[in-house]
Structure 1
């Protein structure tokens, strides 16, 4: 078990002096140079970067309970979409994401716009120091190469999350303003950069990933912990990016490389079985269930954060907001549920049907507290609530196969696409061949709700089911560009969403480039960066 320093922050930059939010907690230049002087110090610093990816980020003050690294960003992105329902306000966490009430708060330093921007730029600032210091660091050259590769991968990941959060998807928007690019260490006297174009940001991401992959291939060192990027998790990130860029050839190549990992295997049907925790409505007594999605020891995990008890963020955590069986945490008063339409697409023979409740006769209107509500999720439960144990899974091997299936289908290789999809589906549903039938074709025929007519429809549907709660649904909605909705009435059952977003009545079916899906640039960045002016802000009102 690896213990991480909670946060090691390197850049000596103060917001009052530096004209951007590229700032972290200050250290002295001497301390910084000592930390980064050799191979061991570089990895210690990189471990500090990884620690921020699951930690509570207190720079947002009281809102730290919905700002806990990567999983907070992903959960917010899922709740902005169509497949995840938040049934009530509860303590308020993530309610504004679900109700599209974050953009209006861009002038504040405690809400989503500021958190997402500052969080990823903080990572970028730190890895820029690591990359720069690697050129003069002493020690084992392969160790230095391996750590530097991790830094490049982390920078690519951060820019990828930023560009997806603060601008429309790549295809069709290549020349729109993206986010500022920084590739060198910054100081108190550094001037903030202007917004680079979407095309330029993706070019940097691609280049960083190419460098990281090459370095990992050259260093030949097996990673020391699942929290670290390695050749295979970096290749999966490369495949994610290629999907957004519609570069199907690269997506195939990168996904195949990720799949070649010797350290992960697909969850079997048995492994993917979820045992639901219980909740007594009258006494609020509960029991913890079992799930493979709370441990980095699960066979298919390719990248994640192992969280030991004394480094758990307790209430300010993913499982606190997801596991409604525990009566002292946020999910019990604001359960997260699957959309009833998506649930209805899962055959009874599919083991994933057990990841959620079905219609148990208790709608949001009838529910008061706890897990006993229609369509409540059990995929994400504490591993051990009493010790606040629950690991964060950032990447699974199943995603690589789903990317491979989609990219092959886009290229017209239906047979190979079915084979790739089958690797996952044969481990979920023994009757999956009956569902697949004679489907063919690369056309996506619907966004949120519809009838599967093509192989592409089936692949994307299975992606929504398998990766529910893991990759941020709104990002897929944007890249697929088919529009979306939260309202439907299929077979007499109306949507179970608690907010159809009817404050925008003209958009019960939202356009593919709906601006509300894009965060606003934090006002603090505009105030402190002379190269980003008010007119550079994202549009506030849909045209």
Structure 2
């Protein structure tokens, strides 16, 4: 077997910034021009697996950064994927319509010639290429074993990372597995095979399940082996649980969600109100540690979400918490502090929120987001913005996944126990006496509050076949009505992206008419 040279080079972390910022469309090519001998590469890396770490580091950077921020700051890597899909649902409100991400909010950024789908496709397949390279370097021959626990962990990270990217791709570019396993999916690239056609959804899930199972088993028992900036047994278990929810295997989903929470403690109230800006937060499972060298500046998560920052959100065009969600947070719930104008936060920046203070007689500043706050790092005597960590997965999410999975697995008592366990840390004294559908709705609702802005709503709404109803809030943009973007199914065709033109034009195995509506 041979390894494509261009794929191998994409994983090199020493040039990660240059590679990411200057990506071309070469990742779409299917015919290699140069080759490296896979056996020689694998043998060298097995002798000194520490050399593989640079490739692992590069893969994480490519996931975080995405590569397009230099030319388009609404394509800021994985954070932009979460932000865009959240905006396609109902819990983030964009009243004035001028904030970055507004075309996603209109359900109008998913067409094949638009940069959102091109950047999403490029980024996720680039990271898959990174993972394939790492797997090729480290995967032992049949009957042999890896040379060290470090090698096992890095190989596990690569498998889990590949599963994670395919999980996003198949759910962004097609309807859920439950709609039909035979739906045309996406091209499938692994370390040993490349299938350029639209591989059916069910077969993509077969690969995803194989990868995450391999990844978890290799990471199991190693804890946070390299810190929360790397995939661990806990974050791999969380990814596994989310994947299993889409397959309908609820018993195993609950089990893996439980495994995911085993390495974390609960946030305190101070942690909850501390800005969700550090992987040192007790409930953080996985994310990216940002510093002054890796910040994407204005094309960063905090730029678009922290309304008091010197970024897009702080420029006066902030997204808001949807009024339906914010108004229903119970008094005494610490999460109530995630929304509303805070003068102390605005002392330095002095952002003018007057446009929001009287909108049809209502004060929309009560819906300003406070959950995410940027932390400035002092470097060379200068306070550098947009250097906050970006959190990808939390243990809190997994408590709700476990609760939902137990309920759907006909174990309502366990579902209620998991809900009360997490909610008692949010709302002191919380108990739940609900049963049946009301219990299920409470689990789903509390998860929506807890994971606001974390990229969960899009997946959950599609998986459950729910209706997105922005009309339940008063602070959605009224111009959305003319676009039929107020009340619609989570499985509306506009909720999936079209395959980008550059792929359709360069991949003869996908016929011209074989794109999403």
Pairwise TM-score range, normalised by the shorter structure: 0.7 to 0.9
Q: Partner residue of 1:265?
A: 265
1:496 equivalenced with 2:475 (yes/no): yes
Q: Would the aligned equivalents of 2:223 and 2:232 in 1 still touch at CA under 8 Å?
A: no
1:116 equivalenced with 2:120 (yes/no): yes
Q: Partner residue of 1:244?
A: 246
1:529 equivalenced with 2:507 (yes/no): yes
Q: Match for 1:419 among 417, 422, 431? A: 417
In the superposition, relative to structure 1, how do residues 124 and 327 fare at CA in structure 2: closer, same or farther (>3 Å)?
Answer: closer
Q: Match for 1:377 among 369, 381, 384? A: 369
In the superposition, relative to structure 1, how do residues 504 and 310 fare at CA in structure 2: closer, same or farther (>3 Å)?
Answer: closer
What is the RMSD of the two structures over their aligned residues, measured on CA atoms? 3.1
Q: Would the aligned equivalents of 2:321 and 2:368 in 1 still touch at CA under 8 Å?
A: yes
In the superposition, relative to structure 1, how do residues 153 and 499 fare at CA in structure 2: closer, same or farther (>3 Å)?
Answer: farther
Structure-2 separation of matches of 1:477 and 1:377: 22
In the superposition, relative to structure 1, how do residues 502 and 36 fare at CA in structure 2: closer, same or farther (>3 Å)?
Answer: farther
Structure-2 separation of matches of 1:429 and 1:362: 32
Q: Partner residue of 2:139?
A: 135
Task: Give the structure with the larger helix fraction.
Answer: 2
In the superposition, relative to structure 1, how do residues 406 and 432 fare at CA in structure 2: closer, same or farther (>3 Å)?
Answer: same
Higher mean alpha-carbon deviation, 459-468 vs 161-170, is at 161-170
Q: Match for 1:308 among 291, 295, 298? A: 291
1:226-305 correspondence to structure 2 within 5 Å: 226-261=228-263, 264-272=264-272, 274=273, 290-291=274-275, 293-305=276-288
1:141-180 correspondence to structure 2 within 5 Å: 141-180=148-187
How far the C-alpha of 1:103 sits from its partner, in A, is 2.3
Say which SS state the counterpart of residue 129 (structure 1) adopts.
helix
Q: Partner residue of 2:80?
A: 72
Structure-2 separation of matches of 1:254 and 1:139: 25
Structure-1 separation of matches of 2:236 and 2:467: 30
The count of residues paired between Structure 1 and Structure 2 equals 478
How far the C-alpha of 1:56 sits from its partner, in A, is 5.4
1:3-402 correspondence to structure 2 within 5 Å: 5=14, 7=16, 15=25, 19=29, 29=36, 33=41, 36=45, 38-55=48-65, 57-58=67-68, 62-63=71-72, 65-90=73-98, 93-104=100-111, 106-108=112-114, 111-135=115-139, 140-184=147-191, 193-217=196-220, 220=222, 223-261=225-263, 264-272=264-272, 274=273, 290-291=274-275, 293-357=276-340, 364=356, 366=358, 373-384=365-376, 386-388=383-385, 389-402=387-400
How far the C-alpha of 1:353 sits from its partner, in A, is 0.3
How far the C-alpha of 1:208 sits from its partner, in A, is 0.5
Structure-2 separation of matches of 1:259 and 1:221: 11
Q: Would the aligned equivalents of 1:99 and 1:499 in 2 still touch at CA under 8 Å?
A: no
Q: Would the aligned equivalents of 1:259 and 1:401 in 2 still touch at CA under 8 Å?
A: yes
Structure-2 separation of matches of 1:210 and 1:142: 17
Q: Partner residue of 2:7?
A: none
In the superposition, relative to structure 1, how do residues 95 and 6 fare at CA in structure 2: closer, same or farther (>3 Å)?
Answer: farther
Q: Per-residue displacement from partner, 1:182-212 (whole Å, max 9, x unpaired)? A: 11268xxxx7610111111111111111111
Uncovered stretches (5+) of structure 1, i.e. residues with no partner: 275-289, 444-453, 489-493
How far the C-alpha of 1:415 sits from its partner, in A, is 1.8
Say which SS state the counterpart of residue 87 (structure 1) adopts.
coil
In the superposition, relative to structure 1, how do residues 18 and 309 fare at CA in structure 2: closer, same or farther (>3 Å)?
Answer: closer
Q: Partner residue of 1:287?
A: none
Structure-1 separation of matches of 2:483 and 2:54: 49
Q: Partner residue of 1:405?
A: 403
Structure-2 separation of matches of 1:469 and 1:233: 18
Q: Per-residue displacement from partner, 1:38-64 (whole Å, max 9, x unpaired)? A: 311212211110111222513x7621x
Structure-1 separation of matches of 2:216 and 2:488: 38
Say which SS state the counterpart of residue 379 (structure 1) adopts.
coil
Say which SS state the counterpart of residue 194 (structure 1) adopts.
strand
1:440 equivalenced with 2:423 (yes/no): no
Q: Would the aligned equivalents of 1:56 and 1:316 in 2 still touch at CA under 8 Å?
A: no
Say which SS state the counterpart of residue 202 (structure 1) adopts.
helix
